[in-house]
Structure 1
Amino acid sequence: MQMDWIDIGINLTNKRFDHDREQVIDSAIEVGVNKLVITGTSVRESQRALLMANERPDTLFSTAGCHPHDAKSLDEDGLAQIDSLANEQQVVAIGECGLDFNRNFSPKEKQIEVFKQQLELAVKVQKPVFLHERDAFDTQYQILKDYLPSLNGAVSHCFTGQQAHLEAYLSLGLSIGITGWICDERRGKALYDIVKFIPDDRLMVETDGPYLTPRNLPKKPKDGRNEPRFLPHIAKTIAEARGQSLQHIAEISYTNSCHFFNLD
């Protein structure tokens, strides 16, 4: 029996999908990944994500937001455009938003300002938040503490942090998105060891394609590109780490994702 899956984070607007985007979607559906949430990382990419989602509304959905790397470029007009996008039916979350102090492509103060603006938007439209965080846990946690009581949910996208960070996010009520990072026996060992601590009702699965191709794929793609069709493989690794069946991971992640993004 084929299992149903939802990829909650796929960068389908990325140029690496330009030559075969429809085939990528169809290949995902063939293995049971029948819903994809396209990540919006800037005004332009959020607009493109929505256009794609509108073309296949039963399969594709999108987020609208500004990644912390692009925070320096977001002005009042850009924020107004994200606000407008947020009201569209196919837009199911605000983001990708958050803080990234690893490389600081945008100044920290500007990142914080833009993050708070998007959290306020999420409160206004009552759609969940698709979160990014890297090397900025303490600041992001403190900001989220203030907003979460008014938010309609938040997910820590591509979580790769420490157990203490996981427990802190869970204590705030966050859901957790797990990617192919867990399939890397070098970088992902710590995540493999702690993924079992995520409650069944908080777990979601994502590829973050074309990035983070699972390192333990039996047959790796020649171009190294990650795709939604690899989502069941990621889930298999999650199931092994949690001591649960693949069927169970399919059922809980699908139910959680439908509920979180209001896809029912």
Structure 2
Amino acid sequence: MDTPWTDLDRPPLRALPLRRALVGDGLWSRLDLVATTGSTNADLLADADAPDGAVLVADHQAAGRGRLGRVWSAPPRAGLAISVLLRPRRSVADWSLLPLVTGLAVVDAMGALGVSARLKWPNDVLVEGPDRPGKVCGILAEVREERVVLGAGINVSLRTDELPVDTATSLVLAGARSHDRDTVLRRYLRALRTRVDAWAAGESPLADYRALSATIGQDVRAHLPDGSALEALAVDVDDDGRLVVEGSDGARTSLSAADVVHLRRR
């Protein structure tokens, strides 16, 4: 039977030290850790009384979701499923930038662990090498009335044979200085607090996002929600966080939702 103690390389998260490090003092209001759940995003969204700054982390997420309803999964304690609930005071029109803010926080945390990462619009964090290129994190932001939940799934210690797709990677495969999940969680939540506070104070994340974008400058194929596809050159991310693409005729289109495939590297 799989228990927290059968795989000594993958211990459970340590609740008390994490709460001491991350709750209060301008950081987060609440930190709950669970051994397993269906979806940390769904759990926080269902908690109507959850305060601003509530954090939920699962050792194992049995029914994690990515964009467009995709399943996101990892072996128990091989990754981090993290959801943060915010009740922002900024206009709802500005909330569209929060997935970008989240991506920047993941890149910040990766950098502190010695891993260079970039951002694939709209919700992927990519390691570009040299040890193991691929997707190391996916982001899913969901809004319910006056609150938004920012979900991040970070692959921490997955081995090659455990990766869900060939284009994925993990921190251990990318040569991170640490793949201790407590350390990764602390790095990420501190980086996210800094990035969210800057956004709440009116700062734009767009300059940083553009500088770290792996999509701008790429020829892309955008699969749109209506089932159609558009091939064009990605030229920018606009002030609302939409991807701006330019067709062969020079016409520009802003995409708010699409599944983007990079057709070539810069």
Same fold (TM over 0.5): no
Q: TM-score, normalised by structure 2?
A: 0.27
Structure number with the higher helix fraction is: 1
Structure number with the higher strand fraction is: 2
Q: TM-score, normalised by structure 1?
A: 0.27
Return the index of the structure with the highest Cα Rg: 2
Q: Which has the higher contact order (CA 8 A, sep 6+)?
A: 1
